[in-house]
Amino acid sequence: MTLFNINTIEKANYEWIEVDASRCNKCGICVEYCPMDVLAMDSKGYPFMKYRDDCWYCDVCTFFCPRVAISMNDLPYLIS
Amino acid sequence: MYHIIETDVVVVGAGAAGTMAAIKARQADANVKIVVLDKSHMDTSGGAGRGMDALNTMSVPPYSYPEDVVEHTTKVTEGVLDQNVSYEFGKRCPQLIEDLEKIMDREKGSLFPVDEDGNYQLFYLHPIQKPLLLPMDGEEMKRALAKAVRDSDATVYNRTAALQVITEDNVVKGVFAFNIRTGDYYYFKTKSVCLTTGCAARMGLASSGYLVGCYEFPGNAGDGYYMAYQAGAELVNMECFQANSLIKDHQGPGCGYVAAPRGAYGTDKSGNPTWSHGYSSGDSKMGSWKAFAEGRGPTHLKMSHLPEEESQVIEKILWGNERTSRKIFHQNRGQDYRDGKAVELAFAEEIGVCGGHSSSGVLADENGASSVKGLYVAGDVDGGLPHSYLGGALVMGGLIGEKAAEYSSEFNTSVDYKGLKKWIKNEIETFEEPLKRDNGLPTDLVEYKARTRIQHYMKPPKNPEFLEIAVWWMERIRKEDLPRIKAVDYHDLLKTYEIKCILAVGEMMARSSLYRTESRWGYQHWRVDIPESKSEWDGQWVVIKKQGDSMKLSKRKVPDLKWDFPAKMEYEYPELSFDVGIPFKKEANWINPKQDKWMAGTLEKQGMATPRKFMPGKEK
């Protein structure tokens, strides 16, 4: 655990990517294509921001999700 | 675990240039073995991962010709270029249009605009009287290129970061890489390398303080500059900094190349233009700097005078390409492009280097060949083709793919790989030291420190004293902090490597800025101690090359200029001397320091120890 990066194995208290568990089928496309390797699957198989502070807010995860299960309603706190 | 794989061509970095290199290598040779490495994912990596809205510099007859590209690049580089490279790039632009339409399966007129006569329609932007900007409806470009790479039977390794280009007697013989998710290592025995790693995005840290809140794709940490340098290649123009006008805080492009050709312009707080044109050359950067220096900030991108139809066009482009998060950013701040002050611009918040936006990088000729045999470069890492943007990356990427394939089929090597397994084991052991430490410095803190120092000490106007301190910091962090980093996993281990790249590029930037004893390219290399261009530096590169363990710098004349275009932008360096009036004067307490008897007496009694009289736990 460091000052900036959270680097956890589960969802942290603060993330700007929201995953709708009722829509997500745990296909992993978002994890596969995230350019900065931010996303990973949590213990239940849902994507979360494992390396949250490496996110370039590029929008790939929301754009690629075939089930519209991910939304980015805000940008990183320091940016927004 | 490590793997040894034999191939002919290794493409390092599958961005726009790298994907095109692989595609063209296959077209050139049906049998050549091609490996493509990307530390990210080929479909989404690089600055054009979410596509692009234009090929910023292109020559497409009858609107413009290769000579016009030469005129433009000669002007903005102020004559410090190899004109042959610009000309060869210009000549190949029409072929690129054909290639992209085919790869993206688009009809003429769909991907690029076409005028009433059926000609591709270019827009005016550059500081010459010819249009060179070709708009593009290119959000899906990168994914189409990625598909074409897969279709061309290249072996793609995603999440696999190249760490070293290995040479023997100045000839390429291998690439060493590792997978940031599995921790697997790879040694590719290869005859040639297409180095297409992009620019150095993570240099000076922007004032948002967000480490990856940068203009360029943050995966591009200057790896290519570092690898090429370590391999013995020459680099040029590392003193010609990239310093852009960006959307404040968002750090995405300031939208100038979308909005400026459509009538927008940068303004100061009073709504006056900050400069006469919207092209990002040293003079216009100077205009932006001046607005802030004179207290005329904030600056904005003014679009409020545009008709509603044009505002919608700009929104469609800016929200659907490249940095699509601009939409959320502006909407969450309640900003509308129809308001003249909606888009606040930040200037020079992140000092960096880039071949495509500026002219810094590995020196390469008109074939993309570097000074190392078998090492080809293209895109933002290429310092041989200035101001060429995405079009240059795609054209030169394709070209180096062809050249690398050709070279690999013709070149018979007798490279000795004796002792390779032992070498690999040693490399892995050294590379993984940060993982094995029980504790140490977190990678993000070390990166934060390095990048704040870069921004503080290197941001123009430059002065030698600041630059010397910058060199000191780069060396100090490299020697004292890098050996203390604790990496928590492979993802983090990559950052350890990237910090090494950042420090090396930072040192190149500072040392070459010190070496070039003049000012040139407007803001980009403005030395306050020598605020003028010197004739002895006309047409001269500062060349950086590794010599032993030190960085060797030298001056080299560029190839003779065949075209006699103006090699100067119109601007002047300002006098930086401010009269602040008559300061308050007071009498000195003493002339002779020995008169400071009271404190000298205290020092004598206490020494350097601080008395502990009233301390917690000592009270009765």
| A78 → closest Cβ in B41, B213, B488 | B213
- What is the interface pTM, i.e. ipTM, of the complex? 0.94
Q: What is the distance between the alpha carbons of residues B195 and B586, in angstroms, rounded to a whole number?
A: 63
Mean pLDDT, to the nearest integer, of B42-57? 97
Min distance A1 CA to chain B CA atoms (Å):
9
Average of per-residue pLDDT across B472-480: 98
Higher pLDDT, B541 or B245: B541
Tell me which residue of B516, B379, B430 sits closest to B12, measured CA to CA: B379
Query: Which parts of B114-170 are beta strand (E)?
Result: 134-138, 155-157, 160-168
Tell me if B386 sits within 8 A of B76, measured CB to CB.
yes
B260-277 tens-digit pLDDT: 889 999 999 999 999 988
Cα-flanking dihedrals φ and ψ of residue B300, to 5°? -135, 160
Average the pLDDT over B319-342 and give the result. Answer: 93
Please indicate whether, in this complex, the C-beta atoms of A56 and B217 are within 8 angstroms of each other. Answer: yes
| Residue B403 phi, psi dihedral angles, 5° rounding | -65, -40
pLDDT of amino acid A5:
56
Which of B50, B219, B491 lies closest to A60 in CB terms? B50
What mean pLDDT do residues B535-560 have? 97
H helices, E strands: number in chain A: 2, 4
How confident is the model at residue A9, as a pLDDT?
Answer: 76
- Domains identified in chain A and CATH numbers: 17-72 (3.30.70.20)
Flag the least confident range among A61-65, B300-304, B502-506, B584-588. B584-588
B488 interaction partners in chain A (CB closer than 8 Å): 7
| CB atoms closer than 10 angstroms to residue B157 | 22
Q: Which of A36, A55, A72 sits opposite B328 (nearest CB)?
A: A72
B181 at interface of A, judged by CB pairs closer than 8 A: yes
Please name the residues between 27 and 56 in chain A that touch chain B, using a CB distance below 8 Å: 32-37, 51, 53-56
Predicted TM-score (pTM) of the model is 0.96
CATH number of the domain located at residue range(s) B245-347 in this protein:
3.90.700
pLDDT at A1 > cutoff 80? no
pLDDT at A4: 54
First-to-last C-alpha distance (Å) of chain B: 65
Contact present, B389 and B55 (Cβ < 8 Å): yes
**Rg of chain A in Å (alpha carbons):** 12
Q: Does residue B255 register a pLDDT over 90? A: no
Asked if residues B519 and B527 have their Cβ atoms less than 8 Å apart, the reply is yes
**Where do the structural domains in chain B lie, given as residue ranges?**
245-347
> Which residues does chain B have within 8 Å of residue A54's beta carbon, measured at their own beta carbons?
211-212, 218
Average pLDDT over residues B24-42: 98
B41 to A35: CB separation less than 8 angstroms, yes or no: yes
Is B159 touching A (CB cutoff 8 A)?
Answer: yes
Closest residue on chain B to A32 (Cα): B41
pLDDT for B46 beyond 60: yes
Q: How far is B50 from chain A (nearest CA, A)?
A: 7
- Tell me what pLDDT residue B228 has: 98
The half-sphere exposure of B139 on its side-chain side, counting CA atoms within 13 A, is: 13
Q: Which residues of A touch B443 (CB under 8 A)?
A: 2, 5
Alpha carbons B217 and B393: distance in angstroms, whole number: 15
Asked whether residue B322 carries a pLDDT value surpassing 80, the answer given is: yes
Quick: pLDDT tens for B570-611. Answer: 999 998 888 889 989 988 887 787 788 899 999 999 999 999
B167, B173, B179, B184: CA torsion to nearest 10:
-110
A55 vs B40, B212, B332: nearest CB = B212
Rounded distance, CA B405 to CA B21, Å? 9
Residues of chain B with pLDDT > 90, as a percent, come to 91
Of B49, B210, B442, the CB nearest to A78: B210
Write out chain A residues lying below 8 Å of B219, CB-based: 35-36
Cβ A4–B444 below 8 Å, yes or no?
yes
Q: Which of B290, B289, B287, B291 lies closest to B279 in space, CA to CA?
A: B287
Q: Is the pLDDT of residue A3 over 80?
A: no
Residue from A53, A56, A41 nearest A10 by CA: A41
Higher pLDDT, B244 or B71: B71
pLDDT for B280 beyond 90: yes
Mean pLDDT of A8-17: 85
Q: What is the mean pLDDT of chain B?
A: 96
What is the pLDDT at residue A2?
47
What letters, b where the CB count within 10 A reaches 16 and e where it falls short, cover B448-460? bbbbebbbebbbb
Q: What's the pLDDT at A6?
A: 59
